[in-house]
């Protein structure tokens, strides 16, 4: 358990909400998004990478904050 200060509850809720929204938006438009991402061009490939980074950041931060609040955050 890290010695770092715990993140605020509000921040945790914001990140959780944003990641849930991002997942819902992506999965409800998955047909169109997949058509775009699989069009074998540079811009769709870059957009796909951007989406992956965005989701990893939002969901990763949300999980990290939740576990921190529960006292389960690691320094790894």
Measured CA to CA, the distance from residue 6 to residue 73 in angstroms comes to 9
For 58, counting Cβ atoms within 10 Å of its Cβ (0-12 exposed, 13-18 middle, 19+ buried), the class is: buried
By CB under 8 A, residue 7 contacts other proteins: no
Contacting residue, 5, 10, 31, 32, with other proteins by CB under 8 A: 31
By CB under 8 A, residue 20 contacts other proteins: no
By CB under 8 A, residue 72 contacts other proteins: yes
Measured CA to CA, the distance from residue 36 to residue 2 in angstroms comes to 42
By CB under 8 A, residue 25 contacts other proteins: no
Phi-psi region of 9 (alpha: psi -120 to 50; beta: other; left: phi over 0): alpha
Which residues in this chain contact other proteins in the complex, by CB under 8 A?
1, 23, 26-27, 30-31, 33-35, 37-42, 44-46, 48-49, 51-53, 55-57, 59-61, 63-64, 67, 72-76
């Amino acid at each position: 358990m890290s010695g770092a200060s715990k993140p605020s509850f509000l921040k945790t809720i914001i990140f959780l909400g944003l990641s849930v929204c991002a997942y819902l938006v992506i999965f409800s438009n998955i047909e169109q998004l997949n058509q775009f991402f699989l069009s074998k061009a540079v811009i769709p490939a870059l957009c796909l990478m951007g989406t992956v980074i965005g989701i990893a950041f939002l969901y990763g931060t949300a999980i990290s904050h939740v576990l921190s609040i529960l006292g389960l955050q690691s320094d790894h």
